[in-house]
Structure 1
Amino acid sequence: MCASFTEALPGSPARARTCTAQRGFTLTELIVIMILVGILAVSVMPKLQGAVSLRDDAWRDGVLSAVRYAQKTAVSHRRLVCMSVADTTVTLSIAQANPASSCNASLTGPTGAAAFVTSDNPAMLTSVSPAGVLYFQPDGRVTTDGAGATASNRTISLSGASAIVVRGETGHVE
């Protein structure tokens, strides 16, 4: 550390000499900091990716529970339940009377919202095969239309996760 001092040479007036402190990092300090940041990045990145995969698993689990809830509600209420699957939302609706060929009252999700489950990532859902609304009949079957003429196996494909398969004749969800 540099302090100001007075220097007096023989035969000359006294002069004040000041020294200013140098600021900044040395090359060695910068290299050590970069190595520490690299080590921290290597240890933190897997945990961050783990959190992202948990969010993706939560979307799959939400869709799976919506399918099961729709099937169980159709059987327990003895009414037609319709399930619409979009990129970021799954909505359920129920027929107000039985027999019915369309659903006209919405079923609220666990949070009280119209959507049963939502996702922030639109890339999570890849497809519903065959495309369209899933119709859960009062007897538990899954059909291609509200009238219940044809039972159909349905597959909901999700990116990065195993597909959800609904068996048409039994309504069993895998």
Structure 2
Amino acid sequence: MQRLADSCNSKNPSCGGFLSCWFGMRGFTQVELIVVIVIVGVLALAVIPRFSGDSGFEARAFRDSVVAGLRYAQKSAVAARRTTCATFSAAPARVDFRISNGNGAVDCVQGLPLIGPDNRQLQVTAANMVAFVALPADVVFDGAGRPLSASVFSVSGLDASLMVTVEAETGYVH
């Protein structure tokens, strides 16, 4: 007991904070525990949504990957002078790219998977809960890089200014 009294009289108590000197006990006070719980709660509110995938980055990344894939398919059509196709599927949101076997083909039914720049089949798959707002029609580029028809579609979670557009005459994808 004498040691506790000596440590309370000194400028730096040994342990347990200043209140433990007055009450003769060790541990955390209720105020300290509540402050820690509040800090942990605030940190959890700020950090957990970052890991849940609801930040919008997945939707933007999927949209950008689809645009890049469509541009690659158009350039491949021009380079090989063959028809390339992009086929959209809903669950999970995915785009598969194919190239026709011959010049002048109307579609890619008789074609092969389009090989991407990484020497693998070109395919774009969405992560988590990302989806197309409405399932778009297939995009088909002829041997000159022109699409058979214009196409406009969007990805869920993005505003209207980020819609994917394939221009009718030029095939410009943006």
Q: Does 1:38 align with 2:41?
A: yes
CA contact (8 A) 1:108 1:116 kept: no
From the superposition, tell whether residues 113 and 52 of structure 1 become closer, same or farther in structure 2 (CA, over 3 Å).
farther
Are positions 1:90 and 2:87 aligned together? no
Q: Residues 75-95 of structure 1, C-alpha deviation per residue, up to 9 Å, x if partnerless?
A: 111100011022321111111
Q: Secondary structure at the match of 2:143?
A: coil
TM-score after normalising by structure 2: 0.69
Q: Which deviations, in whole Å up to 9, do the C-alpha atoms of 1:107-154 show, x marking residues without a partner?
A: 1345555452111235432124xx4211101122111xxxxxxxx210
Q: Show the counterpart of 2:141.
A: 136
The one of 100, 105, 119 equivalent to 1:100 is 105
Structure 2, unaligned stretches of length 5 or more?
5-24
The 3-state SS of whatever aligns with 2:169 is coil
Post-superposition Cα deviations, 1:19-45, rounded to whole Å, max 9, x if no partner, equal xxx998653233112221133235435
Alignment of 1:1-174 (within 5 A): 26-44=29-47, 47-48=50-51, 52-87=55-90, 88-103=93-108, 104-109=111-116, 112-128=119-135, 131-143=136-148, 152-161=149-158, 162-174=162-174
Structure 1: 4+ residue segments shifted above 2 A: 22-30, 41-56, 108-115, 120-124
The alignment's C-alpha RMSD in Å is 2.9
- Report the structure, 1 or 2, having the larger helix content: 2
- Structure with higher RCO (Cα < 8 A, 6+ apart): 2
Tell me how far apart the structure 2 counterparts of residues 99 and 115 of structure 1 sit (CA, whole Å): 22
| Structure with the higher fraction of residues in strand conformation | 1
State the structure with more CA Rg. 1
User: SS of the residue aligned with 1:126?
Assistant: coil
Percent identity over paired residues: 36
Taking a change above 3 Å as real, the CA distance of residues 23 and 94 of structure 1, as seen in their structure-2 partners, is farther
Aligned pairs, how many?
144
- Structure 1 distance, partners of 2:105, 2:46, is 57
What is the identity, as a one-letter code, of the residue corresponding to 1:57?
R
